[in-house]
Amino acid sequence: MILDHYIGTGTTTVFSDVASDVWYAPYVSLALFKGMINSNSQFRPNDTISRAEAAKIIVKLFGVKMSNVKGTFADMDISSDLTQYAEVAKSFGIFSGQVLDGELKFRPDDSITRAEIAKVIVNAFNL
């Protein structure tokens, strides 16, 4: 398993807020290596993640080529790159959105709940 290479090997991290000896350092390093996350100065390990950010990570995990997609979510700006990831995730049945006030919405800035991420994982991996 590729993660075995990262665990216990003194993995260094490019993020100023992720020490190489914390339990999650190998997971962050692998996510960066796989292109699921971008490197910048901070990872913010204790912050919550938005639904749009989760969609981007999942779509990047599968290496889906991005293309211009039609905006179906009433609460997302079609020019945002996060919208593109949400739309691709929807097209693969990973995220479905919610009908609120008669419109299909993604709630991109809301934190994703544990229940929602469980559904996303099941959908993404066809479990």
Residue entry with tokens 């009908």: 99
How far apart, in whole angstroms, are the C-alpha atoms of residue 45 and residue 32? 13
- The pLDDT assigned to 4 comes to 57
- The pLDDT assigned to 8 comes to 47
Q: Is the pLDDT of residue 24 over 60?
A: yes
Q: Is the pLDDT of residue 70 over 80?
A: no
Q: Is the pLDDT of residue 6 over 80?
A: no
User: What amino acid is encoded at 127 in this protein?
Assistant: L
